[in-house]
Amino acid sequence: MTALARLIDPQQEQEVLAHACLALSSLSLHEDSATAVVVEWGKIAGLWRHLTAAGTTEDGMSPLVNLSAAICLLMQHTATQTMLVDEGALDLILEALTTSRGETTPVKAAVWISAALSHLASSPANLKGMSDASVSTTLHRLAISDVVDVRLNAAWTLAFLAANQGATEYNSSVLSWIRDLLLLTSVSGDDDALQQEINSLVNIAFGHLSGAEAAEISHLREASLHEKRSPSQRCQVRREAIHSFAEFLRAGDVAQDLIGTLAQLCRSSDSRVCLEAMNLMAFLYIEADFSESVAAEGGVELLASVCWSLDDDDVQLACAKYLLRYE
């Protein structure tokens, strides 16, 4: 992490920053590695402000979008979220979602950052801070956004806040929440899937605020909204992370050693580690630069042995899919 921290420096070239920020988002995805990223929160916040002020575009591998993804993913874990709230993460998120210096947050970055706000709203411990007038002002901007994914994140945020608030007592922000819930609602008969999801969340929020029987969303506090709602974004992060890994192998004389290490990780008893290692091995096999090295480490025989040795449905299904690449 120390080496990566040196790369998230505003003085670095844009391409270096893009890959470094992508690496941060990949580390932030898993709680065990996310705790190491939190230590560098000061640098992350400083870099975000620098990139915003510089008017960085979203085209290609955008450092700003990748960094926004990392911030969002850090907020999905209870442990890291608690630490970051103490470090002023809510203030950065509100700043990020507010027009400043005559510019607005790029759309893709705004989607990630608005999702980060919904992660914070999911925790009852954050209700007091999330009831502040500054949050209500920002939520109103999200509720009237032209971007449907941003409005959906606003609906998630309001649904979580309503679930945590309940109908027992009202705080000063409830009326503004109700206003924004009404703004998010559509009565059109031809709503698309995302608007239908927004409508469902609005109904849940009103149910909690009124004390009426409503479908519980508390179980979603234990799951990432990123995992629940954004498979396309998750796949994009994965694809770009794998691409960066391949570029790293090409840049240094370490390919054979790392592929050998991956082969060992394919036999890990931890199914998540096994799946990630197999995914990389299968990808590298179809890359001309690495196919011979992967074959030398076992290739088909390795995946076949893993498939039969681990009693895990997900691993076995993944093995079957990856074996098709070796045909």
Higher pLDDT, 80 or 226: 80
pLDDT of residue 226: 43
Query: Quick check: 59 pLDDT over 60?
Result: no
Asked whether residue 159 falls in the same domain as residue 95, the answer is: yes
Higher pLDDT, 240 or 287: 287
Give, in degrees to the nearest 5, the angle at Cα 94 between 92 and 100: 90
Q: What is the mean pLDDT of residues 283-289?
A: 67
Asked whether residue 150 falls in the same domain as residue 25, the answer is: yes
Q: Is residue 73 part of a domain?
A: yes
Q: What are the backbone dihedrals phi and psi of residue 252, each rounded to the nearest 5 degrees, phi first?
A: -125, 165
Q: Using 50, 70 and 90 to split pLDDT, how confident is the model at 318?
A: low
Q: Is residue 33 part of a domain?
A: yes
| pTM of the predicted protein model | 0.66
pLDDT digits (tens, 9 = 90+) for 99-113: 544 455 678 888 999
Q: Is residue 148 part of a domain?
A: yes
Q: Is residue 242 part of a domain?
A: no
56 and 49 Cβ atoms separated by less than 8 Å: no
Query: Quick check: 160 pLDDT over 80?
Result: yes
What is the CATH classification number for the domain harbouring 133? Answer: 1.25.10.10
Q: Is residue 239 part of a domain?
A: no
Asked whether residue 200 falls in the same domain as residue 268, the answer is: no
pLDDT of residue 189: 55
Identity at 67, one-letter amino acid code: L
Identity at 218, one-letter amino acid code: S
Segment 126-133 long-range contacts (CB within 8 Å, at least 24 positions apart): 126/85, 126/90, 127/161, 127/164, 127/165, 129/85, 129/90, 130/90, 130/161, 131/161, 131/165, 131/171, 131/172, 131/173, 132/173, 133/172, 133/173
Asked whether residue 201 falls in the same domain as residue 117, the answer is: yes
Asked whether residue 19 falls in the same domain as residue 127, the answer is: yes
Asked whether residue 205 falls in the same domain as residue 315, the answer is: no
Q: Find tokens 């070796």 and name the residue.
A: 326
Q: Using 50, 70 and 90 to split pLDDT, how confident is the model at 173?
A: confident
Range of the domain at 283: 252-326
Q: Is residue 300 part of a domain?
A: yes
Query: Quick check: 287 pLDDT over 50?
Result: yes
Q: Is residue 234 part of a domain?
A: no
Q: Using 50, 70 and 90 to split pLDDT, how confident is the model at 224?
A: very low
Asked whether residue 302 falls in the same domain as residue 223, the answer is: no
Higher pLDDT, 327 or 136: 136
Query: Quick check: 190 pLDDT over 70?
Result: no
Q: Find tokens 């971007």 and name the residue.
A: 147
- Domain end point (choices 229, 261, 293): 229
pLDDT of residue 71: 92
Q: What is the mean pLDDT of residues 191-219?
A: 73
The DSSP symbol for 132 reads S
Higher pLDDT, 170 or 186: 186
Q: What is the mean pLDDT of residues 59-79?
A: 83
Q: What is the mean pLDDT of residues 199-216?
A: 73
Asked whether residue 41 falls in the same domain as residue 90, the answer is: yes
Asked whether residue 223 falls in the same domain as residue 259, the answer is: no
Asked whether residue 53 falls in the same domain as residue 193, the answer is: yes
pLDDT of residue 140: 92
pLDDT of residue 228: 44
Query: Quick check: 251 pLDDT over 90?
Result: no
Asked whether residue 148 falls in the same domain as residue 194, the answer is: yes
- Domain end point (choices 197, 229, 261): 229
Asked whether residue 106 falls in the same domain as residue 140, the answer is: yes
Q: What is the mean pLDDT of residues 19-31?
A: 83
Q: What are the backbone dihedrals phi and psi of residue 143, each rounded to the nearest 5 degrees, phi first?
A: -65, -25
Name the domain count of the chain: 2
pLDDT of residue 32: 80
Q: Using 50, 70 and 90 to split pLDDT, how confident is the model at 116?
A: very high
Question: What ranges in 29-77 are assigned the alpha helix state H?
Answer: 31-38, 41-53, 63-74
Q: Is residue 202 part of a domain?
A: yes
